[in-house]
Amino acid sequence: MKISIIGAGNVGTSIAFAAMIKGLADEIVLVDVNEELAKGHAIDLSHGNPYVKPVKIYGGGYPLSEGSNIVIITAGRTQKTGESRLHLIGDNAKLMKHIVQETLSFSKAPLLLIVSNPVDVLTWVAWKESGLPKYRVIGSGTTLDTARLRQNISRHCHLDPRSIHAYVIGEHGDSEIVSWSTANIGGVLLGEFCDNCVNNCQGKDVLKKIYEETKNAAYQIIKKKGSTYFGIGLAVSKILEAVINDSHSVLTVSTIHEEFEGIKEVPFSVPSVIGRNGLERVLPLNLSLEEQEGLKKSALTIRSVIDTISIGGG
């Protein structure tokens, strides 16, 4: 299994590090416009080989990515303090087109995993530019948001976050929503769990606080340290595991929905089954009317940005 990561910044190298520790690939290639940086990271990572399942690690330009099974795209201008992910679209859409063109000149039909922000819109750009089937182009979507949500719930409830089943859906961004109607802990719906909570919490106020903390987490991290990368590195490694091990895992990745509520070809995240070929199927969600409206609003937000992009230009 050969994985190439386009972009050897903090996010790309965090993904490489997580994939290496988990022993997910035979080869990992770091590609960056700064080839010396990519080479340096590759050498540094390779020095950990005696402590993990050995993997060949290279760094440099696009030719090294030839014959990749999976290509992960992380390159792009990073989000600045006070800036939404959607503000990045002008610069990063143009860059995404170029990356996809370069990638496909060396790898015939890899699975494309988009991590660059705004991830939903750029997943659409990558799909249009690549000509690959929808199920072979997926974005990291709200996998990280969902992890943040579960961590925030676990901290409040004093529970193992792996015992919490709750999802952030829609855009990976400010219009995202939480599917509170389906959230459960050990099979107990969250509403029922809260009614019997030992913390004597005020249900709706607590849920609103948890939602805001989840939605604004990236802004807080960017304010404190400049960028986020450890969490997304682990989230993407989980997607890689699902693909490489063909584990049919349920993850909130961003995929192209052919039509949703009359909205054509819009990518957003809902719980989806991921396996060897990418997207296998999207699971139905029993949402409340309010959540349905929130998800539609989120999809429209993404679609409105897509409508500003000219895919044919350079």
**The listed CATH number (3.40.50.720, 3.30.750.24, 3.30.70.360, 1.10.260.30) that belongs to domain 2-139:** 3.40.50.720
Enzyme catalytic residues = 172
pLDDT at res. 76: 86
Apex 226 CA angle, 221 and 232, nearest 5: 60
Q: Distance (Å, rounded) from C-alpha 21 to C-alpha 32?
A: 22
**Single-letter residue type at 124:** W
The answer on whether 267 is annotated among ligand-binding residues is: no
pLDDT at res. 313: 45
Average pLDDT over residues 93-105: 96
Question: Model confidence over 177-224: pLDDT tens digits?
Answer: 999 999 999 899 988 888 777 766 656 688 899 999 999 999 999 999
Average pLDDT over residues 116-123: 95
The answer on whether 12 is annotated among ligand-binding residues is: yes
pLDDT at res. 23: 97
CA 204 distance to own-chain centroid: 28
Q: Distance (Å, rounded) from C-alpha 185 to C-alpha 187?
A: 5
Report yes or no on whether pTM surpasses 0.95: no
pLDDT at res. 77: 77
Number of residues written out for the chain: 314
The answer on whether 140 is annotated among ligand-binding residues is: yes
Q: Tell me phi and psi for residue 187, to 5 degrees.
A: 90, -10
pLDDT at res. 201: 67
Q: Select from 193, 210, 244, 214 the least CA-distant residue to 147.
A: 214
Question: Model confidence over 294-313: pLDDT tens digits?
Answer: 999 999 999 999 998 876 54
- Identify each DSSP E strand in 196-305 by its residue range: 249-251, 254-260, 263-269, 272-275, 278-282
Pairing of β 164-165 and β 70-73: unpaired
Instruction: Give CATH 3.40.50.720 domain extents, the chain.
Output: 2-139
Q: Distance (Å, rounded) from C-alpha 85 to C-alpha 76?
A: 11
Instruction: Give CATH 3.90.110.10 domain extents, the chain.
Output: 143-306
The answer on whether 118 is annotated among ligand-binding residues is: yes
Neighbouring C-beta atoms of residue 196, cutoff 10 Å: 7
The answer on whether 254 is annotated among ligand-binding residues is: no
Q: Tell me phi and psi for residue 100, to 5 degrees.
A: -65, -40
Question: Model confidence over 8-64: pLDDT tens digits?
Answer: 999 999 999 999 999 999 999 999 999 999 999 999 999 999 999 999 999 999 999
User: What CATH number labels 143-306?
Assistant: 3.90.110.10
